[in-house]
Amino acid sequence: MEKIKKFLYLIFVILYSWEFVSIFAFGFIFIFYKQYLNFVVLKVNFNADLIKYLILLPISIFIWILKEVKDMVVLEKDNIKFLVNWPNYWKFKIHLLVSIIYGFIFIVFSTIPWVRKENISDALGLALFFEALLGMIIVASSIYFAQISLKEIFNKD
């Protein structure tokens, strides 16, 4: 019963998140407003060097997310005892896991335009890249604010 409860909570966290909303919104925009994305691609002249290095931005954010998640779990001895004995520690771990899952999904989204020969010079590539970038910023913000909350809890007198 406990595993089912944790699995259902995992599904809840995945579906009830800003990351999911952003994926859904960009899918909606791509499906219904593809012609406007094509118009943007035609009007904006992307610098070739800029395009070549843009892929590094979501990857670097994902590396930062992995480092910060590790730092949140690997704490000083007193803090880790408090955290592990906390009744909702399993929820905390699920939230961290979902952050990593979404980060990986957004890495895949950001690399698809570069695997394709069109890069971000078509509507699909542009939508995928900016969705990945927005999603990574959302995940990074969530991790950052969770870290601040943890520091506040540990530094209470």
Residue with tokens 């895949």: 108
> Taking each helix axis from N to C terminus, what angle separates 123-154 and 77-85, rounded to the nearest 10 degrees?
100
From CA 139, how far away is CA 64, in angstroms rounded?
11
Residue with tokens 């407003």: 33
Q: What pLDDT is stored for residue 108 in this prediction?
A: 94
Helix (H, G, I), strand (E, B) or coil at 119: coil
From CA 125, how far away is CA 120, in angstroms rounded?
4
Stated as kind and residue range, the H or E segment containing 29 is helix 18-32
Q: pLDDT tens digit string along 10-24?
A: 999 999 999 999 999
Q: What pLDDT is stored for residue 63 in this prediction?
A: 95
